[in-house]
Amino acid sequence: MAGLLDSVNQRTQLVGQNRLELLLFKLVGRQRYGINVFKVKEVLQCPPLTSLPKLHPVIRGVAHIRGKTVSVIDLSLATGGRPIEDVTKCFIIISEYNRSVQGFLVNSVERIINMNWEAIMPPPQGAGKFSYLTAVTEVDNELVEILDVEKILDEISPVNTEVSEDVKSVDTSSKVVGRKVLVADDSSVARNQVKKAVTSLGVECLLAKDGREALEILNEMAKDGPITEQIALVISDIEMPEMDGYTLTAEIRGTAELKDLHIILHTSLSGVFNQAMVNKVGANNFIAKFNPDELATAVQDAVN
């Protein structure tokens, strides 16, 4: 337990500093990709895979790891590339997204680097809505692509975004008249999932693609009067280019005109590290993606 707490303490020191650790890897070819280390449970040589009938075409099979069965997704195939050929010489990155554990088949794994979120940029304009990029950065004078894993997983197994009638029956309309909810998330899929769940409650959404854009929207709105009379609450992802959700929360709490806003951090990250960070930056709530009823209930609680 002491070792775990030490690890938590080391990582919480990054909170408010807008930093992250990326695990670099390659698929087919020379292009480098990155994944946030917080989402990685372990990396291992690809074990024997078992093929099952009616698997999605990008799932190469299932692996039996530490007593659990894990689906192994060929990341190259999932993003429209060629399949990774010799799986016996490849690696799988065991990760946790949206309350589920899956393995990502990659050709090779390089190293972990520590970066500032300000160096993580949105995809270039013109990438199009069919792009699988959520961000890009530069390492050793080479472009590193950060994939929109939530989009990939949603294409394989679409997430239910419908809020149940029991939850929708709770009337909060009088609490949000004239106010809006600001949603910040770098994944277009995740933004739309949240928007669909929240608007089903009769709430209007404003959308931002990262923390910096969200902060600019809030500061501009605050010029027109008390922000809490305009914005009911902020729902923010944690992982975002230019400014992450932790830093956004810290900036809001440190700005007199914004400090009273209710903030929900809504993220595919999960675990003890995040709860410690949420407490440090002063968010009101932390919800792991994606359960529409849980999110909708949190919104109702925040405005009641």
32 vs 198: CA distance, rounded Å: 36
Structure tokens given for 133: 């990029």
> Comparing 11-156 with 165-303, is the CATH topology the same?
no
> CA of 180: how far to CAs of 165, 230, 231, 268, in Å?
22, 6, 5, 24
CATH assignment of 11-156, among 2.40.30.10, 2.40.50.180, 2.60.40.420, 1.10.3720.10: 2.40.50.180
Chain centroid to Cα 47, Å, comes to 28
pTM: 0.80
Structure tokens given for 62: 């299932």
Reference 247, options 149, 99, 64, 117; nearest CA is: 117
- CATH class entry, domain 165-303: alpha beta
Residues paired with 74 in a beta bridge? 105
Instruction: Find the Cα–Cα–Cα–Cα dihedral 85, 104, 208, 201, rounded to 10°.
Output: 120
248 vs 282: CA distance, rounded Å: 11
Q: Determine the pLDDT at residue 302.
A: 87
DSSP letters along 233-280, please?
Answer: EEEE-S--SSS-HHHHHHHHHTSTTTTT--EEEEES--SHHHHHHHHH
- State the Rg of the chain over Cα: 20
Measured from the Cβ of residue 90, the count of other Cβ atoms closer than 10 Å reads 19
In the chain, what are the domain boundaries?
11-156, 165-303
Count, in order, helices (H) and strands (E) of the chain. 10, 15
Per-residue pLDDT of the chain (304 residues; tens, 9 = 90+): 344 334 434 444 454 566 788 899 999 989 999 988 877 888 999 999 998 888 899 999 999 988 889 999 999 999 999 999 888 899 999 988 877 889 999 999 999 998 888 888 888 776 555 578 888 999 999 999 998 888 898 899 888 888 999 888 887 766 766 679 999 998 888 899 999 999 888 889 999 999 999 999 999 999 999 999 999 999 999 888 888 898 899 999 999 999 999 999 988 765 545 566 777 788 998 888 888 999 999 998 888 7
119 vs 135: CA distance, rounded Å: 10
Residues paired with 102 in a beta bridge? 95
Q: Determine the pLDDT at residue 88.
A: 86
- Sheet (strand 59-65) strand order: 40-45, 91-97, 100-106, 68-74, 59-65
